[in-house]
A = this chain, B = another copy of it.
Amino acid sequence: MTGEQPSNRRGRQAEAARNDLLLLDAAREVFFCHGFDAPVSMVAQQAGVGIGSLYRRYATKEALLQHLCLVAMRQAIDAAAAGLADTEPWQGLVEYIRRCVEFGAGALAPIAGTFDSTPEMWSTAREARDLVERLVDRAQHAGELRNGVTALDIALLIERFTRRIGLPSDEEENNRSRLLAIAIDGLHATNVEPLPGRPPSAQHYEGRWVHRDTN
Contact = CB atoms under 8 A, between A and B. Distances in A.
Interface of A: 35, 37, 109-110, 112, 146, 149, 153, 156-157, 159-161, 163, 165-166, 169, 171-172, 174-175, 177-179, 181-187, 190-191, 193, 195-201, 204, 208
Count of chain copies: 2
B204 A179 contact: no
A90 to B, nearest CB: 13
Given A177-B197, A186-B191, A190-B191, 4 more contacts: A35-B37, A163-B165, A174-B197, A177-B196
Nearest to A148: B178
A200 B166 CA distance: 14
Nearest to A152: B175
A193 B179 CA distance: 13
A179 B185 contact: no
Contact of A179 (B109, B157, B177): B157
Nearest to A201: B171
B182 A186 contact: yes
Which of A161, A177, A178, A187 is packed against the most chain B CB atoms within 10 Å? A178
A165 B174 contact: no
12 contacts: A35-B35, A109-B166, A153-B182, A156-B175, A156-B179, A166-B208, A171-B200, A171-B201, A172-B204, A178-B197, A178-B199, A190-B191
A195 B178 contact: yes
Contacts of A171: 200-201, 204
